[in-house]
Amino acid sequence: MRNDRVAAVLASAARGILGDGYTPEIPARMLEAIDHVATQKERNQLLTTLRLLDTKAGALALTGRPVPMSWLTMPEAEAVIQKWTTARLAGQRRLAGSLTAIALVAKYGEPCPEWQEFGYAGPLGPPPERGPRIESTVIDSDETISCDVVVVGSGAGGGCAAAVLANAGLDVVILEKGGHFAERDFHHIERRALHEMYLYGATLTNTDVTTRIIAGKCLGGGTLVNFAVAFKTPDYVLREWAEVSGIDAFVSGEIEQSLDEVAERIGITTEQSAPGRRDQLLEQGAAKLGWHNDALPRAVRGCTQDAGCGYCGFGCRAGAKQGTALTYLVDAAEAGARIFVETDVRRVAIENGVAVGVEAVCGRHNLRVRARAVVAAAGSVETPALLLRSGLRGEVGKHLRLHPGTAAWGFFDEDVKIWEGTTMARYSKELAHIDGGYGPIFETIPLHPGTWATVFPWYSAADHRDLMSKIGRVSFVAALARDAAGGRVTIDKHGAPRIDWKPTIEDNRRITEGVVAAGRIIEAAGATEIHTVHTEPISYRPAPGAHERWADEVRERGFLKDATFGSWHQMGSCRMGIDPATSAVGAENESHEVKNLYVMDASTFPTASGVNPMVSIYGIAHRGAKKLAERLS
């Protein structure tokens, strides 16, 4: 009965948001999205609000009329969402934003008639029959096992560390929170893939709901669902890391050696970066301005570089993306490592200040792993949450960096189809040097209708449907900011992660200048209208002096409020350093607080990498695992 009331309110809200695009399946999909929300407190708050909206008293308080939300007509429900969108109270604006986002993904992230109307083909045929290259286990009873090293996480950090350790002759167990997916499982339906393969169903945000946190949750972690960009850590970043951390390995050549070995294993190349139309526009715009542009290095072998490549964020059907499921996890398994999936590690077992294993749950069953060493490699959100649940404190969870992404987007007089083409093929580092290497770089990524629907501003159901009808002619240039803001990961009373992060004044200035420059790129590429990603976008049509006037307005408003970011890169929340007062783990990745507990993922970064971080993660894990193998052997 309680969920029936929630579903009735969601149906009313969805009718107001989607108008004639509403279908009866939408409320159940929205409820499924709410079930993925990270913290029980946030889920309960939203569900309680929705139930209140179906009472006269609650409706009066939240809508101004004593009429339960489920009783409203479509125009009345639309008027409520419009009222909340521009409300003075932040809570009402957040409620409108949350409901609008989940309704739009529920609509456009699943097959619907509108796909054909705006030229979205959806999945390009059925997935291939190819199954997994490695075996994994889902436990079906309580178990206790022993090993030399238990590795929590299977992405760039965990997968690489496990392979190095197993190849050194150590008995390794790998625990992955997500499921095991192979080519035959890549159905390429956006909403379902987001829920199945991404952390918290891609619903995770920071506490003020201004930044959407995107990370993988599957065997292979982010390397299964990312866009294969493979930058080595820039020299100026390594120098800064050495200075901040006091660790000489960043500049002695030790990390560089690991980066080189990793590059060979994962097949880094610029020879398989043929640009689709989206990347061609970035390249053309930058070239017309006389700005730097170049092919992106990618970790691929045999990439098709065709329309289907743009679906690779839901799994690479060609088996070309060289994530850990096709590289390091294969190496680890061939060396005898055991892999367990759908396994949520709740705490590190610690005895007398020494890590002796982990405790995990798999559905209704418990898994205990006894080990000589524990490697936490669950990413910059889940690793600090695990350590905090295990009683660590100190600098754990602090110094979080997010690479907040925003963009200038626009309409073109041609079909672009931003969901097609090589995942990422071109970039520009024209402004990367500013502020000592803290300037943004410019990239573009494939985005599908469910996600892009949340980028378009929502003013009314009809207005948004009109924008969606033009989605095929949209393109954008993203400004990837290297943030200096020190965010923090904490946990709630149930142990779920909470992310506190806000840009500093200097971050805001760099983000703003990045968007201003991105606007120049897409105007030079031929955009006929250009917009920011604000709740109320700042827009212009190219004309003499128009960009300058737009830029002035963008600088005046900035991005400290009324703006949303996307973060595909989380870093620094258990950072390396020789001083326990400013870092969580030492020069060889061991916790300052607990012996035999190691961290080998992006959370160890002393500061933001400034480029896509995958290879930097690999490098740190590769070196750290070699050190650990020497110690245990």
Distances (CA, A) of 204 to 49, 175, 276, 280, 483: 19, 22, 30, 32, 19
HSE, CB side, 13 Å, CA atoms: give it for residue 186: 24
Is there a contact between 576 and 245 (Cβ–Cβ < 8 Å)? yes
Q: What whole-number distance in Å separates Cα of residue 484 and Cα of residue 181?
A: 35
Q: Which residues contact 370 (CB under 8 A, 6 or more apart)?
A: 144, 145, 146, 147, 349, 356, 357
Q: What whole-number distance in Å separates Cα of residue 324 and Cα of residue 332?
A: 10
Burial letters 109-120, b for 16+ CB under 10 A, else e = bbebebeeebeb
Catalytic residue selected from 195, 403, 531, 569: 569
**Owner of token pair 């990961």:** 489
DSSP 207: T
Q: Alpha helix locations (H) across 25-136?
A: 26-35, 40-52, 56-63, 74-85, 90-108, 113-117
Mutual angle of helices 74-85 and 2-18, in 10-degree steps: 80
Q: State both tokens at 55.
A: 């009472």
Sign of dihedral through CA atoms 150, 152, 153, 156? negative
Q: What whole-number distance in Å separates Cα of residue 631 and Cα of residue 627?
A: 6
Would you call 569 a catalytic residue per the annotation?
A: yes
Give Cα 217 to chain centroid, integer Å.
10
Q: Which residues are catalytic?
A: 569
